[in-house]
């Protein structure tokens, strides 16, 4: 059950979501199959359709409720096995559907998927609340928690029991009946607002197009222009160059385009997404989310939402977060001021002593400083970082560090641009499947992330089921004359996400509820891997 709650929270953070009312024959719905007869049990993306999700979610929630009822109605004294472990193992069908749906809603969505999300996520919030606010279920959980020391539980069993108990409390199990109803309403509204926010952001990103004539592209490298030309042709304009708010398009433009007015235009368009007073405006969405989050925190006994979200993290309290941020802020500000001073001499030469340096000037003049002070041109660096070579370099590094190897594997994929690899452990045993989805498209969220289509788990017979992991990015596409070439920042990003992938692939945890780690710990493997990106060896 814990893995479903974690997955639901993750999906709500990265999502742009879905709705559909089509009926589906049980025999034809892949989610109704007990086992996927695909290589390594990978999701059968070639057979999964949008209309499969709603009936699969409905069945998953129904089966989950039956499992919870069995725990609640047990006549036996609550024990770790019949309560905590039974709860931890519940919801497997629902988890399988939610995992695939959540990942695809971020990586490959469309209007139908987004509409379905607006229907599904409030229903999932209500389903989760009905379980965590079930008084009889909590009584059994609390009984095991209170007697955990006397029961002689092992270290892992103790931790799982405490985590599950704490999750119930943080979800409102100790509230009065009236407050529980209020919290349920808040959670349902927040789930829908999360869907609306993501949908609006994606729509704003996709709607913006900056078509530029060639004579206004002075300073822009030929490779960037070739990519922009291909984008324009795909949009039906053969005599122009198209730049979008995808960072693989926007950042090269901000870095190289001499036309300051155009730099300002695209930067402000990026900054103003969701703040344009149109049908995609997120101001009211954010205001409602802030208000509801505060009400939720107060209901649960916290001073603020910040206190609520940090309470079960490593930081523990907002003050610890601010202590870290403020410790970084002063030296970072001093360093940025030094960098700005280096840029200002070049900026004043271009625009005069009275001109004001603006945010959209930063990338352009930072590149000028690199060229002038260090004879370093980022566009020249990219030729050493083709996407294929960088990926292979990471594979080689992982082999040297951990003894694992990667080989292409023929499994179903959800988009033609996705590639898949089998990951072999140092003894050549199967460790997992790793997907790569590198390039931007209209149905994909911005940025880069790593998630999974299946978590590592242990079956009832003690066998380990390997994870199916996916790295999703928005790197520049290859052109007719050049492969996909990465900036140093993109190389670091790929190393970062690969660190998350290793975390998932190496996971070897007996209990589902212990698979997830604190949010401020989860970045440790990725930060470590970033260091290797700049290590010459």
In three-state secondary structure terms, 102 is helix
Instruction: Count the Cβ atoms, other than its own, within 10 Å of residue 271.
Output: 11
Dihedral pair phi/psi, residue 243, rounded to 5°: -120, 140
**Is 497 considered catalytic here?**
yes
Q: Identify the active-site residue in 189, 455, 497, 530.
A: 497
Q: What residues form DSSP beta bridges with 454?
A: 468
CA end-to-end span of the chain, whole Å? Answer: 43
**82-86, Cβ contacts within 8 angstroms, sequence gap of 24 or more:** 83/140, 83/141, 83/143, 83/144, 84/141, 84/144, 84/157, 84/160, 84/161, 84/164, 85/511
CA pair distance 352, 348, nearest whole angstrom: 5
Compute the distance between CA of residue 144 and CA of residue 197 in angstroms, rounded to an integer: 40
Q: For residues 335 and 349, what is the distance between their CA atoms, to the nearest angstrom?
A: 22
Candidates 32, 7, 18; CA nearest to 128 is 7
For tokens 């594997």, the residue is: 409
CA distance 311 to 275: 32
User: What's the DSSP call for residue 511?
Assistant: S
CA geometry: angle at 125 spanning 124 and 127, to 5°?
60
Structure tokens at 191: 């789930």
Closest of 74, 24, 83 to residue 54, by C-alpha: 24
Enumerate residues 6+ apart whose C-beta is below 8 A from 466. Answer: 40, 430, 431, 432, 433, 456
Check if the beta carbon of residue 453 is closer than 8 Å to that of residue 413.
no
Active centre residues (catalytic): 497
């Amino acid at each position: 059950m814990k893995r479903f709650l974690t997955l639901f929270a993750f999906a709500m953070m990265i999502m742009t979501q879905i709705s559909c009312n089509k009926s589906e024959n049980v025999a034809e719905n892949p989610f109704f199959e007990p086992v996927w007869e695909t290589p390594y049990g990978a999701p059968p993306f070639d057979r999964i359709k949008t209309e499969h999700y709603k009936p699969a979610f409905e069945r998953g929630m129904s089966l989950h409720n039956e499992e919870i009822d069995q725990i609640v109605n047990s006549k036996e004294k609550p024990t770790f096995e019949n309560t905590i472990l039974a709860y931890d193992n519940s919801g497997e069908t629902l988890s399988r559907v939610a995992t695939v749906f959540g990942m695809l809603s971020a990586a490959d969505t469309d209007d139908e998927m987004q509409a379905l999300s607006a229907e599904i996520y409030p229903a999932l919030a209500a389903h989760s609340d009905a379980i965590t606010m079930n008084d009889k279920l909590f009584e059994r959980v609390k009984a095991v928690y209170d007697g955990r020391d006397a029961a002689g539980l092992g270290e892992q069993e103790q931790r799982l029991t405490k985590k599950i108990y704490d999750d119930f409390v943080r979800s409102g199990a100790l509230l009065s009946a009236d407050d529980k109803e209020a919290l349920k309403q808040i959670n349902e509204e927040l789930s829908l607002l999360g869907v609306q926010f993501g949908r609006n952001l994606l729509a704003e990103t996709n709607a913006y197009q900056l078509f530029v004539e060639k004579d206004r592209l002075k300073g822009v490298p030929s490779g960037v222009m070739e990519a922009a030309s291909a984008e324009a042709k795909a949009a039906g304009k053969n005599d122009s160059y198209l730049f979008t708010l995808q960072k693989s398009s926007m950042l090269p433009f901000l870095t190289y385009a001499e036309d300051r007015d155009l730099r300002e235009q695209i930067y402000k368009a990026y900054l103003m997404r969701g703040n344009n007073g149109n049908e995609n405006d997120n101001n009211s969405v954010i205001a409602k989310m802030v208000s509801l989050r505060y009400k939720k925190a107060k209901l649960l006994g916290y001073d603020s939402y910040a206190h609520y979200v940090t309470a079960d993290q490593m930081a523990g309290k907002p003050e610890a977060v601010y202590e870290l941020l403020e410790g970084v802020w002063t030296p970072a500000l001093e360093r940025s001021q030094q960098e700005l001073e280096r840029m200002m001499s070049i900026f004043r030469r271009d625009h005069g002593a009275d001109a004001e340096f603006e945010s959209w000037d930063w990338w352009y003049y930072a590149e000028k400083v690199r060229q002038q002070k260090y004879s370093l041109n980022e566009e020249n660096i990219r030729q050493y970082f083709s996407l294929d070579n960088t990926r292979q370099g990471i594979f080689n590094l992982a082999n040297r560090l951990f003894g694992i190897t990667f080989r292409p594997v023929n499994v179903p994929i959800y988009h033609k641009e996705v590639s898949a690899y089998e990951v072999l452990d140092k003894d050549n045993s199967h460790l997992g499947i790793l997907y790569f989805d590198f390039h931007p498209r209209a149905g994909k969220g911005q940025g880069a992330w790593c998630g999974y289509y299946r978590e590592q788990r242990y079956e009832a017979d003690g066998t380990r089921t390997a994870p199916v992991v996916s790295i999703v990015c928005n790197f520049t596409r290859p052109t007719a004359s050049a492969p996909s070439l990465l900036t140093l920042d993109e190389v670091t990003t790929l190393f970062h996400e690969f660190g998350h992938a290793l975390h998932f692939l190496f996971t070897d945890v007996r209990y589902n509820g212990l698979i997830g780690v604190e949010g401020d710990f989860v970045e440790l493997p990725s930060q470590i891997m970033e260091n290797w990106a700049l290590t010459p060896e």
